[in-house]
Amino acid sequence: MLDVTLLSLYVSGMATILGSAIGIPLGALIGLKEFGGKGAVKTLTYTLYGFPPVLSGLVVYYIFSRSGPLGDFGILFTPTAMIIAETLLVIPLVTGITITSVVEVDRSIKDTVKALGASPRQSIITVMREAWVGLVMACMIGFGRVIAEVGAAYLVGGNIDGETRVLTTAIMLETRMGHFEWAMSLGIVLLSVALMVFLFLRLLQEREML
């Protein structure tokens, strides 16, 4: 069970890190910059909150299948494919929450910052700093989404014993075999793991480490 738990952490953790690395700058950009079609972009981002994990899995499957366009990389049925599919789920979530946080902060401190004579670059830095709590929240929600998902992990990972089995796909397997109690305890392990991660992120939130 330990390797399954560690793999869950690795896959979902990496997906959260990669997704946030893309989503936070993207969200800041969309939130703070004026451009044509901004409203449409924001709407699209929020719509993708509902992007089904199994659909993300299917898209990645299509692309990385041997018969697909990027099949030569041989990524299918490896943790890498699972990370890619989960990153696609994290990006819209982190982007959207970043947009909201950043816009909110910007609105409330914009005048103060200008009055204090900040340059454009300094004001962006200040906004991001003030939005820190919201940004960590974005990462937490992104992580929550992917640690809990099973559709993508099952489809592109294949639930291979010792290779791509994570907590959620293990729960599917045990449930399929009728071992409901064991599946339930795996679920509790998952929640405990999530709890530890969120406690850590909460600490970050409050310490304002930037």
Interface residues with other proteins (CB under 8 A) are 14, 17-18, 21-22, 24-25, 28-29, 65-68, 71-77, 80, 83, 121, 124-125, 128, 158-161, 163, 176-179
* Minimum separation from the CB atom of position 142 to other proteins (A): 14
* Minimum separation from the CB atom of position 180 to other proteins (A): 9
Give residue 200's Cα distance to chain centre: 16
Residue appearing with tokens 């982190």? 94
Choose between 28 and 166: whose C-beta lies nearer to other proteins: 28
Choose between 43 and 92: whose C-beta lies nearer to other proteins: 92
Question: Using CA atoms, how far apart are residues 89 and 53, in angstroms rounded to an integer?
Answer: 7
116 token code pair: 């204090």
Choose between 149 and 174: whose C-beta lies nearer to other proteins: 174
Choose between 182 and 195: whose C-beta lies nearer to other proteins: 182
Question: Using CA atoms, how far apart are residues 92 and 85, in angstroms rounded to an integer?
Answer: 13
* Minimum separation from the CB atom of position 21 to other proteins (A): 4
C-beta of residue 13 within 8 angstroms of C-beta of residue 127: no
For the packed helices 180-207 and 132-147, what is the interaxial angle rounded to 10 degrees? 170
183 token code pair: 């599946």
Query: Tell me, what amino acid is at 108?
Result: S
* Minimum separation from the CB atom of position 192 to other proteins (A): 26
